[in-house]
A = this chain, B = another copy of it.
Amino acid sequence: VILAVCLNPALDITYRTTNVRSGTSHAVEVAGERAGGKGINVARVLHQLGIASTVTGLLGGARGAALEADLDAAGVAHSFSPIAGASRRSITVVDPDDAMVFNEPGPVVASEEWRHFLDRYRDLLGAASAVTLSGSTPPGLDRSAYATLVGIAGAAAVPVVLDAGGPALTRALAQGPTVVAPNRAEVAETLERAIDGRTGLRAAAEELRARGAGSVVISDGPDGLVCATRGGAWLARPPHRVTGNPTGAGDALTAALAAGLERADDWPEILRMGVGWAAGAVATHVAGEIDERVAAEAAATMVLEEMP
């Protein structure tokens, strides 16, 4: 079972309207309400592909109950730790030309609630073959939250995929995460410098390894993945750019990396799955889903180059 951690899940509400303009009122249609957050998207992708997973995290209030009901309806296994605060909303306003997203910060988590979650996390790790850590952390948790979770997984000998940047990544590196999967912007934020071109990504990946990561997979959007491991480094990309909705591509990549670790694939095979699933996510409108035909084609035609 792959354990997907979603510390700050959101009730994703989609509004459909026309002609969004500042300074005015808009009548909207409520086009959907569903459980969201990066960890939940990871679990959704794994569920779609028939890979056993459980999503865990912190959840509360009427919106928390709505989140669980939506996951039940989708058949996604979950085991959240209850908190007194209410889970957040995320509002996406879609008009025919565009979309805007408004993300609430989430509930304040008390230190006792965090300790209760850690107990649950330890229990769930007992049955886990890999764990993913991704997405924002709610107010009240400090910047070491992901470092703590990486350390506990390491002690339990469960491989970890961490998708984070900035101080959360910096602190987690010291705990030796199996794989870190930041994007280019997150790498720049973490190393506090601009990252130029592919050679810059390659050097940055090695720097993240030197700081403690076992392997590093940096996603560079439509330009593919730069990967550095103990056994080699690669650029992996689809043969042509996939256009569409990039939301959720990072989550599909995280899911693929965890699935690859679980199967103990070699890196070229893991990257093939990563390029495929990410392309499949870009081809759908909704985060947490992939277009399996696009994914299979992108995986089959992946261009893999060794990097010196």
Contacts and interface: CB of A to CB of B under 8 A. Distances in A.
Interface in A188-218: none
By Cβ-Cβ distance, the 8 closest A-B pairs, closest first, are A25-B101, A62-B62, A22-B98, A28-B102, A26-B102, A23-B98, A27-B103, A15-B102
A303 interface: no
A156 interface: no
A100 B28 contact: no
Contacts of A30: 104-105
B22 A101 contact: no
A228 to B, nearest CB: 29
Given A20-B22, A22-B20, A62-B62, A102 B98 contact: no
A24 interface: yes
Nearest to A65: B62
A100 B29 contact: no
28 contacts: A15-B91, A15-B102, A15-B104, A17-B102, A20-B22, A21-B100, A22-B98, A22-B99, A22-B100, A23-B98, A23-B99, A23-B100, A24-B100, A24-B101, A25-B100, A25-B101, A25-B102, A26-B100, A26-B103, A27-B103, A27-B105, A28-B102, A28-B103, A29-B105, A30-B104, A30-B105, A62-B62, A93-B102
Q: Give the residue among A17, A23, A62, A100 with the most B Cβ atoms within 10 A.
A: A100
A30 B27 CA distance: 21
A30 B86 CA distance: 12
A21 B98 CA distance: 10
B100 A20 contact: yes
Interface residues of A, number: 25
Contacts of A24: 100-101
A15 B22 CA distance: 14
A291 to B, nearest CB: 22
Contacts of A91: 15, 91, 102
Interface string A112-148: 0000000000000000000000000000000000000
A297 B28 CA distance: 39
A219 to B, nearest CB: 17
Contacts of A20: 22, 100
B101 A26 contact: yes
Contacts of A21: 100
A21 to B, nearest CB: 8
Given A20-B100, A24-B100, A24-B101, 19 more contacts: A15-B91, A17-B102, A21-B100, A22-B97, A22-B98, A22-B99, A22-B100, A23-B98, A25-B100, A25-B103, A26-B100, A26-B102, A27-B103, A27-B105, A28-B102, A28-B105, A30-B104, A30-B105, A91-B91
Contacts of A17: 102
A250 to B, nearest CB: 13
